[in-house]
Amino acid sequence: MIQEQNQAAMLYLRRPFGPTGFGECMRDFVVADHTPSKQHPQGRRLVADRWFSLCWPPYPNTGRNLLTARFLDTTPRSVNLCGWLDDDMEFEPWQLPELAALVHPVERPIVSALYFAHNGEERGKARPLVITDTGTQWDYPRDQLVRVRRVGMGCCFIAREWLEDWRREHGDTWFDYIGHGKADGFQLEDSAFCDRMTQFGASIWVHTGIIVGHLKLKRIGRFDHESRTALEKAVSANDAAERTSTPIAIP
């Protein structure tokens, strides 16, 4: 079920000297969102002219909790989606409304775009943020909605009802860290949020056909993942061929 009537407020944490590409993407999206078309004579108007930002605080869990509370306290319930963008995301104008239209308050309350990160153990390999109960899905299904265990908040939409329900029972603790170190299972704010929502009964999804860039020291995208994966397969095939080949007799 596609929710064309979804309306969102966008929340993002910004650094004093964030990537310039993010600002350009934001400008292009706002222009496109307000441009009339045959289907949307007044413009699509996904975003209800409400943008909430906070200069990156000492801890991102604090910033995300503050912005989520501000969203709930200052917007009417007709603004039914909370949209998160991080200032290191790079996206096309069409991607946000396409992603938002996939959110359903019951069937798919949390939907994220696909993006990639450096793998902590292998810095040269881009890791797809498609994380299920069995871990990272390196060979993830292409161009489809995939139910996952966790997503990052870099480009994600959340149905308002779930944030309200959590607040009623647990206060403004959506993004509080879990634990304090590896010994007690420390989790950053986005993983902690996903685990809380899952325990609350929400399903979490990634659309692997809506791919956004991740601006770190360089742009991390699907090519960084697939080129490294192809190289690994080629090396593995070469090693297998060497193991099964007949040695050449040297007179």
Give domain limits for the chain: 8-242
Specify the pLDDT at position 163.
98
SS3 156: strand
More confident residue, 7 or 203: 203
pLDDT, one tens digit per residue, over 82-103 is 999 998 899 998 999 999 999 9
SS (H, E, C) 23-72: HHHHHHHHHHHHCCCCCCCCCCCCEEEEEEEEECCCCHHHHHHHHHHHHH
Side chain identity at residue 15, one-letter code: R
Specify the pLDDT at position 115.
93
The structure tokens listed for 174 are 């959506």
Cα distance between residue 154 and residue 115, in whole Å: 8
User: E-assigned strands of 105-240?
Assistant: 110-114, 116-118, 126-128, 131-132, 135-136, 145-148, 155-159, 204-211, 213-215, 219-220
Given a cut of 50, whether residue 249 has pLDDT beyond it is no
* 183 exposure class (CB count in 10 Å sphere: 0-12, 13-18, 19+): exposed
Specify the pLDDT at position 218.
55
Which of 29, 26, 24, 27 has its CA nearest to residue 43?
A: 29
**Residue reference for tokens 């994380």:** 131
CATH number belonging to domain 8-242: 3.90.550.40
